[in-house]
Amino acid sequence: MKEECCSRERVKIALKSIGKEQLEIILKEDKKAEVVCPYCNKKYQFSKKDLTEIMMEI
């Protein structure tokens, strides 16, 4: 089976890599994040709660 180009776990890692300050701005302005995979166009939604959890893991 072919490996998938993306996963929620990978998108989470990408979000962590943009840094706490940037995530704080997203939380303040949008209160959510939507990440689209550039390869398969799959959308990943992150709620305020998800983003808060990601920030705490940084």
**Min CB(46)–Zn ion separation in Å:** 16
For 15, the token pair is 């979000």
**Min CB(33)–Zn ion separation in Å:** 16
**Min CB(57)–Zn ion separation in Å:** 22
* Residue 52 φ then ψ, to 5°: -65, -40
Residue 57 binds to Zn ion (criterion: CB under 5 A) = no
List binders of Zn ion among 9-48 (CB under 5 A): 37, 39-40, 42
